[in-house]
Amino acid sequence: MTDNKVNTGHNMEDKELIKNARKPVGELGHQILDRMNKSHESMAQWGVSHFEIKENDKILDIGCGGGKNIERFAKQISAEGKVVGLDYSEVSVEKSTKLNQEFIDEGLVEVIQGSVSQMPFEDDTFDIVTGFETIYFWPDFINDLKEVNRVLKKDGLVFFCNEAVYHEGKMEKYDDLVELLDMKIYSEDVLEESLKKSGFKDFKAHFNEENDWICITARKN
C-alpha cells in the first residue's frame, strides 16, 4: 500500500475510491457503486444460479449497494412478492432507489437505510435473505447472522456470495485491503460453523475455481 494506491488482491487501485467499498459516501461513493454494479455482475449471475426464486417470495438484500440485485430479483416476482434492499450507506440507498424507482412505484420494491445488526423487520418476514460482497463488513458476525435468522421464515433461505475466500497461507495479496477496510474474509469452514451456531441447517458451498469465488446457502431451522 502506498500513499494513494492499494493492492486489492487483483489490481492496484486508488485508495480513497476503495475506502468507499465499506460505506459509500459522496461522489466517490457514487463512483464505487457504479463500478460495483458492473464489476460484480458476472459473480452475481453465477451466484444466483444456485437457488430458485418463486413469484410470491419476500426477499431481503442486505448491503444492497447500487441496487443491481434488487432489480434482478424484482424482475422475477409478481405482485404477491416483495424485494427489500437494506444498506447503512445513505448514498447506497439513494442509488438503489434511483435504479429501482419503477419497481418502487409498482409496490414491488422498498429500499431502507439501516444496519444488519438491528433490522427494522418483524420476525419470520422473508423467504430469502441475500448478501453480495457484504459480510466482510458485518460488525458482529454471529449476532448479525442471528438477526438474519430472526427475520427469515422457517426453512427460509440465506445466501451469501463473495469474491474473496480465506485460504490458509494464501492471503497475503489481501493484506492491504483487509487493513484499509477493516474487513474479515471467511473460509468455507468458518461460514458453515457460524451459520450452524446461528440456527441454520442444510449448509451448501459452491466454488468458482477460475475466479476463486464462493457462494453459500443454508436454511433456517
What residue segments make up the domains of the chain, in order of their start? 5-220
Domain made up of 5-220: CATH architecture:
3-Layer(aba) Sandwich (3.40)
pLDDT of residue 179: 87
Residue 102 is predicted with a pLDDT of 98
Longest distance between any two alpha carbons in the chain, whole Å: 51
- pLDDT of 172: 81
The 10 Å Cβ neighbour count of residue 52 is: 10
User: What is the enclosing helix (H) or strand (E) of 18?
Assistant: helix 15-19
Judged by DSSP in three states, 201 sits in strand
Contact assessment for residue 182 and residue 193, using Cβ atoms and an 8 Å cutoff: no
| Cβ contact 129:152 at 8 Å | yes
Q: What pLDDT, on the 0 to 100 scale, is given for residue 5?
A: 82
pLDDT value for 2: 59
Cβ 15 vs Cβ 176: under 8 Å: no
Phi and psi torsions of 92, nearest 5°: -65, -45
Beta bridge partners of 126: 152
pLDDT score of 23: 86
What is the residue-level pLDDT of the chain in tens, covering all 221 positions? 556 886 776 778 788 888 878 888 899 888 988 888 888 899 999 999 999 999 999 999 999 999 999 999 999 999 999 999 999 999 999 999 999 999 999 999 999 999 999 999 999 999 999 999 999 999 999 999 999 999 999 999 999 999 888 888 777 878 888 888 888 999 999 999 999 999 999 999 999 999 989 999 999 99
DSSP secondary structure of 102-133: HHHHTTSEEEEE--TTS-S--TT-EEEEEEES
Residue 60, Cβ density class (10 Å: 0-12 exposed, 13-18 middle, ≥19 buried): buried
Residues 83-121: b if buried by 16+ CB within 10 A, e if exposed: bbbbbbbebbbbbbbebbeebbeeebbbbbeeebeebeb
pLDDT at 24: 86
At 123 the pLDDT is 98
